[in-house]
Amino acid sequence: MGVFMTSLTYALARIQKKMRPNAIKNSIIDKTSAVESGSQIVNSSFDRHSYCGYDCVILNCSIGSFCSISDQVYIGGSAHPMHFVSTSPVFLSHKDSVKAKFSRHEFSHMPHTTIGNDVWIGHGAKVRAGVTIGHGAVVGMGAIVTRDVRPYAIVVGNPAREIGRRFDDETAEALTKSKWWDFDDNKLRDAACDFMDPAMFLRKRSI
């Protein structure tokens, strides 16, 4: 009985988690991609076969194909005017959480963030607005990314630093040139049998 109740409770919790709505505004999500419950996506795009997990916030961002974005990831956002007398929005023209307005100075600074193809971003990572993360890169769990990440780099920590690469420079460059993420579905099915062996994948395709 105890095992049954535990399984039932788990199943009900999963259903409840999935039933929450997500919030998607001014965004283009490819039909093959997915946004899980509780996530907020604004002014952004997802290319083919990419997903973000639960409770993510993604603002003003382009996300490539085959990207894996875990739960509670925050990407992008706006800035406050540090060169003004105050950073508070009560002096700015746009709407914000607080209602008071002492002036309505124009200020809008929301840099575009770019996530390449085949990028994996771990649970709870945060990516500063305006950063570019290169193809094939890996961002570790809880990392705080404040600067660009080169293709196939592995970054961790706060602030995020590169600790290695998925492949050597030659292989990383060849995979980037292959643009396999642009293959149509039939070509991708044919190539997928070699995905466990990058050298074989590249050799067969004379890249």
Q: Please list the active-site residues.
A: 80
Q: Which residues pair with 161 in a beta bridge?
A: 156
Tokens 């994996």 sit at which residue? 120
DSSP secondary structure code for residue 149 in this structure: B
18 φ/ψ sector (left φ>0, alpha ψ -120 to 50, else beta): alpha
Taking the CA atoms of residue 186, residue 190, residue 196 and residue 198 in that order, the dihedral angle to the nearest 10 degrees is -100
Q: What is the CA radius of gyration of the chain?
A: 20
How far the first Cα of the chain sits from its last, in Å, is: 58
- Give dist(CA 207, CA 205) in Å, integer: 5
Distance (Å, whole) CA 165 – CA 186: 29
